Amino acid sequence: MAFRKWKNFAVAGSGAMLLGALAGSAVADDALKLPELSARGADACFGRVYDAAHLKAHPKQKVARIFFLYGHDPVSHPNEEPMANADTSYNGFLTTTVRGAKTPQWAGGWCNHESEDGKSGPIRCGMDCDRTMASLKLDDKGRLILTDVSSDLYLDAGSEDELGEAEYDRQALGSEDDNFRLNPMPAATCKAEFAKIDPIDPALGAPLRERLKPDQPFCFGRDYDAAHLNSHPDQVTQSIRVFRGPVELASFASGGDVANWPDGADIAVSVTTRKNGAKVTQTYSCQGEADQWRCAASSKMSNFSCDISQKEIYLKRGANGTMMLANPNSSLAIVDMCSKAAEGKTKSDDKVYRLEAMPQSACAP
């Protein structure tokens, strides 16, 4: 897929699910270079909603609604910052809703002419890993014809073996989901359709980069009681704190760039495990990525001697002033971060935490 997403992980102890955050980039203003789709460089929308008669006549077509936008990113929210050093060439966005589904699925990529000069020949919209999202052409009535749409458009490579034939067939598009003929529509129509994918939750409020200031400390955490731990035997964490204190503030003040906040911001994460009650503190260096912070483990205040720079956690705003912390790949010091046990995805029930704001004294060393 063209965009990184924060995968769904169970919140430690709550049973809730956290929707992945989009880390895609906005399309550069000069990226709209297909005049047949957008003569004036404005966003161009094409779509179709199939009626009951059509779907009855095409039982192997799963797609009931389909929209294609050639233009700027219609999915990321206005208050999200672009990912650092992101590719800004993505300019084609496809969303479909299958029969009976309440929300659309979507894919994004880049669309160009398949020719040496990039100005002639068929138009192909590609995605990462050299995959094709669709081939495009206009008919004599200005309608957009989409072909070469793969049945596994929204699935990862190798999903057929991983999911099994029955589940793969359920998640994949149908055998008649190709050769779509879409009508020109106002750009606002496409944007309204894409807005259904990840609607803004008013309870989330401002993103972390606005709520948390470069020169102000913060402390978030959670302590799990015996009743909670008894009901979650696979959870290792007994207590957790995420904070910026005097050390982290001084580090950013001496070398940080306020204009690019939170890039370069250090945070500390302290974890007390239920096994032996020992508290371990690990420092992470963060950068802004969409509406979340992507934080890599650093050697500062580290109890580990191996290279831990690839150990990452993600911070995201939660509802009503909370903070979400994701640990998808054994990136918290609940085990020795240099050990075999810390390789790969987190296997315990310590994947996503919902943390409450606490007084700074609760995060004191």
Q: Return the amino acid letter for 349.
A: D
Assigned domain for 55 exists: yes
Same-domain status, 43 and 70 = yes
- pLDDT score recorded for residue 224: 93
What's the structural domain count of the chain? 2
Q: How confident is the model at residue 63 (pLDDT cuts 50, 70, 90)?
A: very high
Residues whose CB is less than 8 angstroms from the CB of residue 181 and which lie 6 or more positions away in sequence, other chains included: 48, 139, 143, 144, 145
* Residues 280, 283, 289, 290, Cα dihedral to 10°: 50
- pLDDT score recorded for residue 130: 85
Q: How confident is the model at residue 307 (pLDDT cuts 50, 70, 90)?
A: low
Same-domain status, 155 and 64 = yes
pLDDT over 70 (residue 302):
no
Q: Which domain holds residue 257?
A: 208-363
Q: How confident is the model at residue 41 (pLDDT cuts 50, 70, 90)?
A: confident
Q: Token pair for residue 348?
A: 């315990």
Domain final position from 154, 176, 197 = 197
Same-domain status, 70 and 91 = yes
Same-domain status, 63 and 142 = yes
- pLDDT score recorded for residue 335: 73
Assigned domain for 5 exists: no
- pLDDT score recorded for residue 295: 93
Same-domain status, 155 and 33 = yes
Same-domain status, 294 and 218 = yes
Same-domain status, 53 and 180 = yes
- pLDDT score recorded for residue 141: 95
pLDDT over 60 (residue 223):
yes
For range 219-236, the mean pLDDT: 92
CB 145 within 8 A of CB 37: no
3-state helix, strand, coil in the chain (%, to 5): 20, 30, 50
Domain final position from 149, 178, 197 = 197
Q: What is the CATH number of the domain that holds 317?
A: 2.40.128.20
For range 69-87, the mean pLDDT: 69
Q: Which residue has the higher pLDDT, 350 or 194?
A: 194
Domain final position from 197, 232, 253 = 197
Assigned domain for 233 exists: yes
- Chain mean pLDDT for the chain: 83
- pLDDT score recorded for residue 272: 92
Q: Which residue has the higher pLDDT, 212 or 21?
A: 212
Same-domain status, 158 and 229 = no
Assigned domain for 116 exists: yes
CB 122 within 8 A of CB 114: yes
